[in-house]
Amino acid sequence: MTVEDRLRATTGAVTEAMRPVRPLTLPPGQPEGSAPVRPHWGRLPRRWPGWLIPLAAAVAVIAVAATLVAVRDLPGSHLAPRVTPAASVTATSTAAPPPSAGPVVPRYYVTLSAESRVPVRDAIVADAGTGKQITVVKPPSNATFAGMAAGPDDRTFVLDARTFFAGPSWTPPEHIWFLVRLTPGAARQVQVTRIPIAASMSAAEIVGLALSPDDGTLAILFQPDVIDVSVKTPPGPITLRTYSLATGKALRTWTEPVPSSAAGTTLDSDNVDGLTWLADGRTLAFTYPSFAVHQTVRTLDTTSPGTNLVADSRAVFQVPAGRACGSLLMTPDGQTVICGTSTEGAGGCAKGQPEFDAYTVATGQLDRVLYRHQGSCAVGVATVEWAGDGTLAIGLVETFKSVDFSFPASDTNVVGVLTPGKLAPLRVTLTGSSYGPGTVAF
């Protein structure tokens, strides 16, 4: 009997055991501030008069334009303290030295502020070398930052702002994209500009986000029409689209032949699918389908013809049976997949520590355990945030003292440079929990 079967059986047993539910007891009189009650039952949703629609659209366009003007010059950028790190200092000053010929560990990072019931998260730009916050970028009104990706250097980032429902009636969320450029030591260290990508991802869930090695192309993996509370539109197919960062123009699009939602695929935001550009600047790697029984990493040559996400890509690695990666990233050389595992359930860390594993793509076998957490916890989560090569990465270990916790923040979290057998902590401050590869970008 599967876990799902047991859950269904228990739900049925609970239902059978229920006594009749007692009637609702409401206080006498009308509710506070109640207007005359409108008829609701049996009515179709109220529609706007036809003449009002173009007028409303014009107002909305003006409002969006005003918002974009405001965001283009975000106040947080002006307030940035004058942190002027020496140009020669890299994150290695506080972390393990990288291999001389290997990738350099990035120093600057962006992350989301802690999640709360208020659905607005800021983007925090900070310096892992000094441990200091450089600036806080506020999202446009009625939007929250939902994810980000970093460029090949540690000074270019893309932010995904998702609009949210804030009015009396449901409106599908859209995504607004921003480019963050960091110039340490300059009079104005942080520049935030809007990327002119037209609104085209209505109610979409972003599951992959990656900026090309030449900073010229943004790849977005998304599924349209999933965040639709009216559930009137079935989820669309998972779509991979590349955009010019300069013009916002869509360059290429690939879609899956059958929407994954029909197959029960599990996704996450904002880059749980580990979308990564390889160093050749033309190949994208991503997990598809997400969180299947055996997670599979596929590569797609963006210069080859075709529009089919599955047929035109190639499965190159599958997580071995019995193993599960909470997060995984392919290294830019395409040789290694680095996997972060979680340890949950009774016994917690005592029965298996969260760890970072490096798998060789060519053989599909575990090459080495980069780092295994040592400590006590009830729940432990290891998340790979950046992959350098098969022996170097940045990872996050979060632990929780109790599985019955009620508050979202992890009890401990350590972000550090991973080298075999070692996690050298970076001075990164995270105040929430569950920071995936799309919620921290190096």
Partner 1 sequence: MTETAEPAAGAEGQVTALYQAHATGLVRLAMLMLGGDQGAAEDVVQDAFLGLYRRWAALRDPDRAVAYARSSVLNGCRDVLRRRSRKIPAALLEPDAESAEARALLGEEHREVLAALRRLPDRQREAVVLRHCLDLKEAEVAEAMNVSRGTVKSSSHRGLAALARILKEDQ
Q: Which is closer to partner 1, CB of 312 or CB of 344?
A: 344
Query: Minimum CB separation from partner 1 for residue 399, in Å?
Result: 12
Query: Minimum CB separation from partner 1 for residue 35, in Å?
Result: 5
How many residues are given for the chain?
442
- 373: its two tokens: 């957490």
Are the C-beta atoms of 72 and 82 separated by less than 8 Å? no
Query: Minimum CB separation from partner 1 for residue 389, in Å?
Result: 27
Q: How many of the other CB atoms lie within 10 Å of CB of 277?
A: 25
Query: Minimum CB separation from partner 1 for residue 156, in Å?
Result: 24
Are the C-beta atoms of 356 and 418 separated by less than 8 Å? yes
Q: Which is closer to partner 1, CB of 33 or CB of 257?
A: 33
Q: Which is closer to partner 1, CB of 26 or CB of 321?
A: 26
Element (H, E) at 36: none
Q: What is the CA radius of gyration of the chain?
A: 24
CA–CA separation, 248 vs 255, rounded Å? 19
- 280: its two tokens: 């050749």
Query: Minimum CB separation from partner 1 for residue 46, in Å?
Result: 8
For residue 136, which of 192, 77, 193 has the smallest C-alpha distance? Answer: 77
Q: Which is closer to partner 1, CB of 233 or CB of 303?
A: 233
Q: Which is closer to partner 1, CB of 21 or CB of 101?
A: 21
The full DSSP string for 420-431 is TTEEEE------
Instruction: From residue 20, give the alpha-carbon distance in Å to each of 15, 26, 438.
Output: 10, 18, 46
Q: Which is closer to partner 1, CB of 9 or CB of 65?
A: 9
Q: Which is closer to partner 1, CB of 219 or CB of 226?
A: 226
Q: Which is closer to partner 1, CB of 383 or CB of 391?
A: 383
Query: Minimum CB separation from partner 1 for residue 33, in Å?
Result: 6
Query: Minimum CB separation from partner 1 for residue 392, in Å?
Result: 26
Identify residue 121 by its one-letter amino acid code. R
CA angle 329, 331, 332 (to 5 degrees): 125
Instruction: From residue 100, give the alpha-carbon distance in Å to each of 79, 104, 105, 312.
Output: 37, 8, 11, 37
Element (H, E) at 57: helix 52-72
Are the C-beta atoms of 221 and 310 separated by less than 8 Å? no
Query: Minimum CB separation from partner 1 for residue 323, in Å?
Result: 12
